[in-house]
Structure 1
Amino acid sequence: MSITNLRSVPTPTTALDDWKVWQHAQRLSHRTISERIRVISQLHNESGVQPVNAQAIDIVEWMAEHDEWSDSTAVTYASYLNAWFRWLQITDRRSDDPMVKVGTPRTPDREPRPIADSDVPKLLNARMWTKTRYMILLALLAGLRVHEIAKIRGEDFDHAAGLIWVRGKGRSVRSVPMHPVLREVASLMPETGWWFPMRGYPGEHTLSKSVSDIVGRTMRRAGVKGTPHALRHWYGSALHDDGHDIRVVQELMRHKSIASTQIYTKVSDQRRRDAIVGLDLMRGLRDVA
């Protein structure tokens, strides 16, 4: 083999397997672990620098090469790098943390982007497979994320209590009351096993990316703008716009922090207009009276 060919052979990323085992021991979700591993491997493959030995300048130059990343992606990847270098310090693999010099990208102000109310009937009236419709209804009426939809099972529906038990982020299991439409859907689906099994592998659930692709294609065909996650945004925004307390919405969206809920709960233009119209210059006199 020539020297050129030897250089083209990618070298393993040092300590990555140990970090993976450590994260599993911390009971982090498989999704979080796989994404962290992917990003650290990407840093190694694209920069040619072993992440164990990476310096601040290596990280800055690597991130600067990716203008296509959104602000939120840059923030997420920086958090993965922070976790990586903290672990290296904890396990005495290095004494410094280059992320101190790199700093943290500014977290962007995020606006909720629900699909329009008028787009909901448009989407539901579009031609689609029955199971695609059920995926969409789980997002619109229970606020499920695509990876939660992919893993939904018949056993997750407690018909007597009227609850859906959802396996969410970080291995959490939370309940959501069943909407009447979802009660009807659940009565038509198997009581046990995956609702959406992987094609050719009935013992495995479909991939979250498959759910995202299927729902996304259906939305585009129906002329509905937005991503599949915008259906969850609509769920949160509609609950809030119907006058439900933000704490109720937080519980129904299964958020640990109310700050996360506020990202999803868009205040409608009509409610904002009503608030302005209701401003009373004479309110001081009214209070005295």
Structure 2
Amino acid sequence: MNWETVLHHFALHQRAQSLSEKTIAERDRMLRTLATMSGRSPILVDTIDMLELLSRNHHRTGQPISAGTKQSERSYLRVWGKWMVDEGYRAHDPAARLPKVKVPRRRARPLHLEHVELLLDSGAYQRTRDIITIAALTGLRIGEVVKIRGEDIDWVTGTIRSIRKGSLDHAVQMPPPVRLLARDKPRTGWWFPSLYKNADFPEGGGHVLMKSASTGISRLLRRVGIVDPKITAHSLRHFYATMLLRGGVNVRVVQEMMGHASLATTQLYMEVTQDEMAEASNVLPMIDIRSRSGRGRLAA
């Protein structure tokens, strides 16, 4: 049993589950890396090979891969290992005993309104500024923004139809600035067409790719002086959630607007500032300070 056969069968199994092509491709890419690193056939790969995979350095930075990446890849290995046993390709699952990955607590990393305005006043290309505006005011991921077509716009309800993460068919509200922007966009076809052929559109006629748009925004962030590496194009989505929550929108409503399956995920997008914590502490009751003996109050 060779890797190509196994990967083909595994992909068929995932498509039958209606998993996204992105998920299937990510798992395929990781398993091919496992095959290359181990030099073993899929029926001989063992737990040590998988541990070495999870302990590798990033091919570009030379630094250990992030805890989040390790957590994702561990879950992929667990799914693949169980599938191998269920299909009768292996008697034992080499991924069953992989250790859990300790992931640092996530913190919100939103851009602030001043940052967004700085980006829009930077003199960047109109296309880049339009993508920033839409992402900041709709909560759409960059990969979802670049896929907008004129046919996705419902002018009666003022919404954008978007197929979101997890194949969620979602109607996203367009606030007034986005409606104004939409008037200048084509009523049919891509809002952000690409002039070039690429891996997704080998014959051309496609849209700007997420990676290209995200990289452009990240470069713009650095150019205007926002140098924190944790602030990226995705931080526009954090900005959207934070602004809604600070504006008093119920967190369940924000969850639906973000397209999150879990309320806990939505809460991770909320940045809590020192001023907000100081203001919250003012609701605590006043308690007189006692002396060390506990028998009397301290003099003022």
Q: Matched residues, percent identical?
A: 37
Return 5+ residue gaps in structure 1 as ranges.
1-10, 283-289
SS at match of 2:112: coil
Alignment pair present for 1:154 and 2:145:
no
Q: CA deviation at 1:255?
A: 0.4
Quote the Cα distance in structure 2 between the aligned partners of 1:52 and 1:227. 40
SS at match of 1:173: strand
1:188 matched to which residue of 2?
184
Q: CA deviation at 1:278?
A: 2.6
Q: 1:15 to 1:131 in 2, by over 3 A?
A: same
**CA deviation string 1:137-169 (max 9, x = no partner):** 121001111211221111111111111111111
Contact 2:7 2:28 in 1 (8 A): yes
1:216 matched to which residue of 2?
218
Quote the Cα distance in structure 1 between the aligned partners of 2:43 and 2:207. 35
1:140 matched to which residue of 2?
136
Q: 1:98 is matched with which residue: 94, 97, 114?
A: 94
2:104 matched to which residue of 1?
108
TM-score, length basis structure 1: 0.89
1:5 matched to which residue of 2?
none
**CA deviation string 1:98-137 (max 9, x = no partner):** 2222122123311111123321211111111111111101
Q: 2:209 is matched with which residue: 207, 212, 223?
A: 207
My pick for the range that moved more, 192-201 or 144-153, is 192-201
Q: 1:269 is matched with which residue: 254, 271, 274?
A: 274
Contact 2:55 2:65 in 1 (8 A): no
Contact 2:142 2:234 in 1 (8 A): yes
Aligned length: 272
Matches within 5 A, 1:57-136: 57-66=48-57, 68-136=64-132
Quote the Cα distance in structure 2 between the aligned partners of 1:152 and 1:189. 10
SS at match of 2:183: helix
Q: Which has the higher helix share?
A: 1
**Alignment-mate amino acid for residue 86 of structure 2:** I
Alignment pair present for 1:53 and 2:44:
yes
**Alignment-mate amino acid for residue 212 of structure 1:** S
Q: 1:246 is matched with which residue: 251, 256, 266?
A: 251
My pick for the range that moved more, 152-161 or 48-57, is 48-57
TM-score, length basis structure 2: 0.85
1:20 matched to which residue of 2?
11
Q: CA deviation at 1:68?
A: 1.7
Contact 1:174 1:254 in 2 (8 A): yes
Contact 2:147 2:192 in 1 (8 A): yes
SS at match of 1:131: helix
Quote the Cα distance in structure 2 between the aligned partners of 1:16 and 1:107. 29
Contact 2:34 2:49 in 1 (8 A): no
Q: 1:36 to 1:75 in 2, by over 3 A?
A: same
Contact 1:198 1:204 in 2 (8 A): yes
SS at match of 2:78: helix
Quote the Cα distance in structure 2 between the aligned partners of 1:70 and 1:231. 22
**Alignment-mate amino acid for residue 75 of structure 2:** S
**CA deviation string 1:20-67 (max 9, x = no partner):** 122112111111111110011011112212344311111112322335
2:294 matched to which residue of 1?
none
Quote the Cα distance in structure 2 between the aligned partners of 1:167 and 1:55. 38
Quote the Cα distance in structure 2 between the aligned partners of 1:103 and 1:52. 21
After superposition, the CA RMSD in angstroms is: 1.7
**Alignment-mate amino acid for residue 257 of structure 2:** L
Q: CA deviation at 1:269?
A: 2.6
2:286 matched to which residue of 1?
281
**Alignment-mate amino acid for residue 150 of structure 1:** V
1:286 matched to which residue of 2?
none
Quote the Cα distance in structure 2 between the aligned partners of 1:212 and 1:147. 8
SS at match of 1:99: coil
SS at match of 2:170: strand
Alignment pair present for 1:257 and 2:267:
no
Q: CA deviation at 1:277?
A: 2.2
Q: CA deviation at 1:13?
A: 4.3
